[in-house]
Structure 1
Amino acid sequence: MRRFFLSAFLVLLPVVATAENMPAPQTPAAQNAVRAPKLVEPHLHVSRSGNVVRPRVALTFDACMGQADERILSTLVRERIPATIFVTARWLRKNPQSVAIFLNNLDLFELENHGQNHVPAVDVPVVIYGIAAAGSPEAVRQEVSGGADAMRAAGLAAPRWFRGSTAKYDPSAIRQIREMGYRVAGYSLNGDGGSLLGAGVTEQRITAAKDGDVVLAHINQPTHAAGEGVARALLALKRRGVEFVRLSDVDGMGDDDTTQ
């Protein structure tokens, strides 16, 4: 009799163990939760000059919102340093005088698309650096097309490059933006840490740019110390003999399918 009960117990053990290891049923809230997207922050380089004494660097500046940083803008104009400026519709509306400067110096400045409202080009609901993303393919499309419409309305040429707020994307949004006819502008050197770094650190970072680097900095924070560092770095790079190029001037290669 004891052997019978022991055998029956051993037979039931796998059934009990399997039941204990079964996942708990999902609640409706868990079933409807949005899975966190895979976010990428693409790199971009321009073709190298191959000249040790004259390295090639592309300066790119984001004009997100707020006012123009005259410390940077005046240095670019005075020193005749070419740069690519990514503008939002919000910034264009508030800075007509700076837009006029760009239009009067088209040999220096290439204006490109930074979006309509400065929201990250991610097509699922997520918050990045405290900024709510577009959240849907339709909203990503509006962010991109709205920025381009505002540029044309301001008298600027139709953009060919797009850089979203925070410079982060999910792969499906990158595909969508590429299908709209844009190349997505990453970068290789973060010059000012979102304009939050001090002047000295910013100057040191940008001055260290190497052949083929695409520098990202901001031209819309005139009260931040970083702008002073940017202006000083521009002069230091010029003294080094750097060849400054805009993104449209040379070939650019980005990862995450952003340029090809």
Structure 2
Amino acid sequence: MPGATPTGTRAPVVNNGPRTGNKVALTFDADMTDAMLASLRAGRVKSYANLRILDLLEREQVPATFFLTGKWVRRYPDVTRRIADNPRFELANHTYGHAAFTTDCYDLPALPVDELARDVAKTFEVIKPYGGRQTRYFRFPGLCHDAAALEALAPLGVTVVDGDVVSGDPFATAWKPLVRAVLDHVRPGSVVIMHVTEANAAMTDEALPHILAGLRKRGLVPAPLSEVLGEA
């Protein structure tokens, strides 16, 4: 697999697909922590589901892959169903509650190593009833992983997807830097990381039309992650 790390007994890690052709993958993380749920309940934020992103992708018939946390799926079952019902969208795993899988990953609370596989397996079970184009792709919160985490997930048969183009959309206050971050680094086979969590990635829907226009100018075509990685 292009861009993958040799593994042995570790889950494989991939950053990108083949650098030939013209396909790129747009991926959207759907984070959800207990603190985020508390903010929703207290009315401090309105939503962590950016429906304007879905509206645009559907209207322009753009494929995308969504890395879902189990708690986000439970909070937004109707949105999850909408994603699953779109044949251009793929569903992937982003842990159950967006806890860290290493001991030093930004300010995220860390799970013990012996709970990592259980957390990921639980998330697959939460996503499974929605059907659609489900995958065994997995993304670590904060992209933080080490040998112990990769070894823990190996029995689950997942492929860890980091990505090679980071939009920087969490907590962004302007959309233009996101567009530059993507278009300055995107190449054939790229995996672009964005977020669908409206309240803490408020500029993504404003940046996305400009990103799509920039991809078109470069002759790059969004495709499901499985196709970009050459596995479809």
TM-score bracket, shorter-length normalisation: 0.7 to 0.9
1:132 paired residue number: 109
| Aligned-pair CA distance for 1:235 | 3.3
| Aligned-pair CA distance for 1:247 | 1.9
Aligned with 2:142 (options 161, 166, 170):
166
Q: What SS does the corresponding residue of 1:85 show, helix, strand or coil?
A: strand
Name stretches of at least 5 consecutive residues in structure 2 with no aligned partner: 1-12, 33-46
Q: What SS does the corresponding residue of 2:100 show, helix, strand or coil?
A: coil
Tell whether 2:24 aligns with 1:62.
no
Q: Name the count of aligned residue pairs.
A: 203
Separation of aligned partners in 2, 1:162 and 1:61: 12
Q: Would you say the 8 A contact 2:85–2:132 is kept in 1?
A: no
* TM-score of the two chains, using structure 1 as the length reference: 0.70
CA RMSD of aligned residues (A): 2.3
| Structure-to-structure mapping, 1:100-249, within 5 angstroms | 100-106=81-87, 108-122=88-102, 126-136=103-113, 138-155=114-131, 158-196=134-172, 198-208=174-184, 209-222=186-199, 224-249=202-227
1:75 paired residue number: 56
Separation of aligned partners in 1, 2:79 and 2:60: 17
Identity of aligned residues (%): 28
243-252 vs 67-76, which moves further: 243-252
Separation of aligned partners in 2, 1:201 and 1:155: 35
Separation of aligned partners in 2, 1:73 and 1:92: 15
Q: Would you say the 8 A contact 2:24–2:228 is kept in 1?
A: no
Q: Would you say the 8 A contact 2:53–2:196 is kept in 1?
A: yes
Query: Which residue identity is paired with 2:20?
Result: S
1:84 paired residue number: 65
Q: Taking CA–CA contacts closer than 8 Å with sequence separation of 6 or more, which of the two structures ends up with the larger relative contact order?
A: 2
* TM-score of the two chains, using structure 2 as the length reference: 0.78
| Aligned-pair CA distance for 1:156 | 5.1
Name stretches of at least 5 consecutive residues in structure 1 with no aligned partner: 1-41, 254-260
TM-aligned CA distance change 1:235 to 1:202, over 3 Å: same
The list of structure 1 runs, each at least 4 consecutive aligned residues, that deviate by more than 2 angstroms after superposition, is 153-159, 192-198, 238-241, 250-253
Aligned with 1:47 (options 13, 18, 42):
18
Query: Which residue identity is paired with 1:177?
Result: L
Separation of aligned partners in 2, 1:251 and 1:155: 21
Q: What SS does the corresponding residue of 2:191 show, helix, strand or coil?
A: strand
Separation of aligned partners in 2, 1:143 and 1:67: 21
Q: Would you say the 8 A contact 2:14–2:160 is kept in 1?
A: no
Q: What SS does the corresponding residue of 2:222 show, helix, strand or coil?
A: strand
188-197 vs 140-149, which moves further: 188-197
Q: What SS does the corresponding residue of 1:131 show, helix, strand or coil?
A: coil
Q: Find the structure with the greater CA-based Rg.
A: 1
